[in-house]
Amino acid sequence: MKPVSGTNLEQAKAHNRRVVIEMIRTQGPMTRSELARQTALTVQTISNIVGELVASRLLKAGEQRALPRGQPVTPYDIDPDGAYSIGLELERDHAAGVLTDLSGAVRARLRRPAARPGPDAALPLLADMAEELIATAGVDRSRLLGAGIAMPGRYQGEGVTSLSPVALPGWQAYPVAARLEERLGMPVLVENDASAATIGERLYGAGRGLSNFAYIWIGMGVSSGLVIDGQLYRGSQRNAGEIHHMIAVAGGKACHCGKRGCLGAYLALGAVHEHLGTADDDEEAILAALERDDPALDRWIAEAVGPLRQAIDFYELAFDPATVILGGSMPPALLARLMERLEPLHPPVDPDAVRQIPRVIAGATGKDTSLLGAAALPVFSETNPQFDVLQKPVG
């Protein structure tokens, strides 16, 4: 464990800059005095910070507002062209990329086929894709914050993959962040699909402005992200949230991991394919089943909804989140059907509490979810107020 000491002034300034960006990102354009009120910083401090952020083009001045008395005031907003980010995604059958601006809007996107790519094939491909995205969007390269990449699987440490054998071959213990950084010449952050999507929700989606929420990702696997006090909780080995093999049905279905009754054996898309009798990688089969309203989907939902309620119950009781967001790579129409059948949830710990938001809400779904999350990684790293920057590691 790192010993911690006090804060130095530079770190406190960096923290305050992030607080101001976060405030405007979640609440919209604000004047200096509104910012001072909301952040409990002095007007002088806010003026200095806003001046710096405008000079570095992360913020821009909006149209002046007239007041009944005194001088007109100027609201400040995020400058979408102040910074850009690249999101990359590597899956079993393709690589995809987006270039987003600071507001999260997609400025360029592309997709290339790739058959279970190992590092030797994938790295040049991803580097080419990043160059093409920059060229297509026509943005100023010096304004790129970096690239984020979402990959299926677990991680051993800082950007070193430890993928399960069922995912992508050749990536065991591969330092993907460092190698990609050498090729791209910009900072690279790596997360698994669920963590990237959780950060995407926190910055631009259903988790915007929420400091504490749980996110459950449903795709080929089931995993989750947990935001605690504004930070993604990673765990001691960066494997927090691997809930696929959490036992949800005692003595239930046999799972390939050797246990019985794992959550993922009921909830993941593989279980949908079992009910449909279709192959695991046949995405079209699920869309076609939705189209013809196949009763097999209802049988899947009837079996999946209990284990899902149990996972939600666990997160609510253990972490007291503001809400639980459901998302992932499943087709949006399928998630919507699953959510229609979610009630009755298990009784909450405090049934009389007045809730600001529902206990469970839908996040982004579909093919872009982790890709947009990947693009959010460098922005999050640059602009999210971090409590740990206030604690200076000793030595």
Contact footprint for Zn ion (CB under 5 A): 245, 255, 257, 259, 262
Task: Evaluate whether 229 touches 220 at the Cβ level (below 8 Å).
Answer: no
Output 125 or 255, the one with its CB closest to Zn ion: 255
Output 186 or 247, the one with its CB closest to Zn ion: 247
Output 136 or 310, the one with its CB closest to Zn ion: 310
Structure tokens at 33: 């005095």
Print the SS3 string covering 113-168. ECCCCCHHHHHHHHHHHHHHHHHHHCCCHHHEEEEEEEECCEEEECCEEECCCCCC
Minimum distance from CB of 251 to Zn ion (Å)? 13
Output 206 or 271, the one with its CB closest to Zn ion: 271
**DSSP-assigned letters across all residues of 234-273:** --TTS-TT-GGGSB-STT-SB-TTS-BSBHHHHHSHHHHH
Burial of 71 (0-12, 13-18, 19+ CB in 10 A): exposed
Burial of 251 (0-12, 13-18, 19+ CB in 10 A): exposed
Output 245 or 309, the one with its CB closest to Zn ion: 245
Instruction: List residues bridging with 167 in a β-sheet.
Output: none
Minimum distance from CB of 152 to Zn ion (Å)? 16
Minimum distance from CB of 304 to Zn ion (Å)? 15
Minimum distance from CB of 260 to Zn ion (Å)? 8
Minimum distance from CB of 257 to Zn ion (Å)? 3
Cα–Cα distance list, 273 to 220, 252, 299, 344, 361 (Å):
10, 18, 12, 26, 25
Q: How many H helices and E strands in the chain? A: 12, 16
Minimum distance from CB of 259 to Zn ion (Å)? 5
Minimum distance from CB of 266 to Zn ion (Å)? 11
Output 103 or 162, the one with its CB closest to Zn ion: 162
Structure tokens at 214: 């749980």
The span from the CA of 54 to the CA of 15, in Å, is: 17
Minimum distance from CB of 370 to Zn ion (Å)? 22
The span from the CA of 48 to the CA of 70, in Å, is: 22
Structure tokens at 164: 């399960």
The span from the CA of 381 to the CA of 53, in Å, is: 16
Output 17 or 245, the one with its CB closest to Zn ion: 245
Minimum distance from CB of 271 to Zn ion (Å)? 12
Output 207 or 264, the one with its CB closest to Zn ion: 264
Output 13 or 259, the one with its CB closest to Zn ion: 259
